[in-house]
Amino acid sequence: MVRTTKRIRSIWGGKKGVFQTIPETKALNMFQTLIRLLQKPPFGGRMDLSEIRNSYSGNSVVGRIKRSPRWNDDEGVASTIGTIMSLLVFLTFMGMFTNQFVPVWMSDNESAHMATVVQQMIYLKSQVDGLVADYSNSLLAPTPVFVPITLHAQGIPIFAAPTAGILQFGSQSTTGYPSFNATFVGDEQTLSTNDDGHAGGYVDFYAPNRYYVEQHLTYDCGALILNQSDGEYIIAGLQFSVTNIVAGADTSRVVKLTQVSMLGLDKTVGGTGTKGIYVDLLYANTNAYESDVGADLTFTIVSKHGNAWLTYFNKALNNSMAGLTYDTDFSIGPLTLHDSEGTQNDYYTLTVTIKDVNVLDHTHATILVTLGEVAP
């Protein structure tokens, strides 16, 4: 590019004939600057700010905000959207897992736990029955029994905690419940509630299941009872039978009954883990009560599980080997509800009568029950 210049006399008092070579464009800029200063002096004149005010008021948002260069990065936007979509998919599957799969899994865990506890409680009953059968009128010392009870159902790590359980023992009392009372007037001996005819005490396991049905398993007066919201029944009955023995022309009605009294300190344990039930047989004895003409044998059951006992005796007597007939050979009822303050304290009284009993083989056992983790 050729630079165009012209000779201009110095205006700053240089010597005559002394010239400076000044670019044409720079000279024009200098003259334009002088003209602007004359038109708008920097000092003493009134400044016109209308253009600045209009610029800042009209473009205050758009003009002053700079567009981020990252907004033009398509790869960054795609990565952000991909991350959000991944989180949404993860949360969707997490919601499906916690709302659908976890309840089914926990229901199976609680159901399996209840099956385990049923087996453990049946084992407790069978051990007590075995102790009584071996010790009755025996000179052998009884063997202590230990039965572990699993309190909790397994949980799911992170998603669901284990379901804790409660194990409770209540000792026999004279006037409280549960109690099983038997009365029989024989020719020479009488069985009443004042002697061996009274038995009581219980061991109760409560499972407050959150996904499976809540259940109580109660070892009550020698029988194992399952109670839940839709009903209750005896899954393992007490040692009881009714038979007819024929000797020539004579037929004798024979009843065999075992009553179990449970003594010890009332105690409740709960939480998770495994607790133990310790049983020591203190006493067991069998007596035979006879009546030549036949006498009535009466049971009076006081229990929270009156409906279970009613169903049990209906089935046991109707299906007995003695061929009993209702009203003629036995009667059941009435079942009386004793309503207290709150359903937790309600209990029933049930009366069962077996008629024309000639022989009663009655066994009464007393056991000491202790709850704990180690041997007392």
Q: pLDDT per residue over 59-98, tens digit each?
A: 555 455 555 555 555 666 778 888 888 888 888 888 877 8
Report the candidate in 375, 371, 369 with the shortest Cα–Cα distance to residue 201. 369
Q: Identify residue 168 by its one-letter amino acid code.
A: Q
Query: What is the percent of the chain with per-residue pLDDT over 90, rounded to a whole number?
Result: 51
313-352, pLDDT tens digit by residue? 999 999 888 889 999 999 998 899 988 766 677 889 999 9
Cα gap 325→343, rounded to integer Å: 35
Phi first, then psi, for residue 238 (nearest 5°) are: -75, 170
Torsion sign across C-alpha atoms 101, 106, 109, 115: negative
pLDDT at 42: 55
183-217, pLDDT tens digit by residue? 999 999 999 988 889 999 999 999 999 999 999 99
Bond prior to 334 in cis (omega within 30° of 0): yes
pLDDT at 15: 44
Please report, for the chain, the start and end positions of each structural domain, with discontinuous segments joined by +: 110-372
Chain mean position to CA 163: 4
Cα gap 346→348, rounded to integer Å: 7
pLDDT at 298: 96
Cα gap 202→172, rounded to integer Å: 8
Report the candidate in 140, 162, 161, 159 with the shortest Cα–Cα distance to residue 150. 162
Cα gap 118→265, rounded to integer Å: 24
Element (H, E) at 347: strand 347-372
Residue 117, class by beta-carbon neighbours within 10 Å (0-12 exposed, 13-18 middle, 19+ buried)?
buried
9: pLDDT confidence band, cut at 50, 70 and 90?
A: very low
Q: Where are the alpha helices (DSSP H) in 100-156?
A: 102-135
Report the candidate in 204, 365, 206 with the shortest Cα–Cα distance to residue 277. 204
pLDDT at 4: 43
